[in-house]
């Protein structure tokens, strides 16, 4: 597996972008609105060796330090093979909707953290 991105939840998207983009020098590579619920912004370094996903939930919720962490995401070459392994272990998972632009599942690690496993884009 290859690490795809790390996601953190942010209260103020503009202020956070000023830090990550303007101060740290990361570049915005994609912005994806999720209806009225949230906006996802993906940032990367100049070599595109990693991505950080900033998730801004529009409901105005507040976070205590430590609960902004969302999930780790990994790319795999064969998502269906991973699904079969998850099912073999009897682990709970949630699959992307058929109409979603990317194919993925979310599975929980033994500590309850969400792990996103994405089909490697072609």
Q: Tens digits of per-residue pLDDT, 9-59?
A: 998 899 999 989 988 889 999 999 999 999 999 999 888 888 999 999 999
CA distances from 95 to 51, 82, 104, 106, 121 (A): 22, 12, 6, 7, 17
Ordered domains of the chain (ranges, CATH)? 2-119 (3.10.180.10)
Q: Could you report the per-residue pLDDT of 91-108, keeping only the tens digit for each?
A: 899 999 988 888 999 998
pLDDT of residue 2: 86
Residues noted as catalytic = 116
Q: Is the pTM of this model over 0.75?
A: no
CA angle 105, 109, 110 (to 5 degrees): 150
Instruction: Report d(CA 122, CA 25) in Å as an integer.
Output: 28
């Amino acid at each position: 597996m290859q690490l795809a991105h790390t996601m953190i939840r942010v209260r103020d998207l503009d202020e956070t972008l000023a830090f990550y983009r303007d101060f740290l020098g990361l570049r915005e590579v994609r912005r994806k609105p999720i209806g009225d619920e949230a906006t996802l912004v993906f940032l990367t370094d100049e070599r595109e060796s990693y991505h950080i996903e900033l998730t801004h939930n529009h409901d105005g919720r507040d976070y205590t330090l430590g609960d902004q962490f969302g999930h780790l995401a990994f790319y795999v070459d064969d998502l269906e093979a991973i699904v079969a392994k998850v099912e073999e272990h009897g682990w709970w998972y949630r699959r992307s909707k058929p109409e979603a632009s990317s194919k993925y599942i979310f599975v929980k690690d033994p500590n309850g953290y969400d792990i996103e496993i994405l089909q490697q884009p072609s």
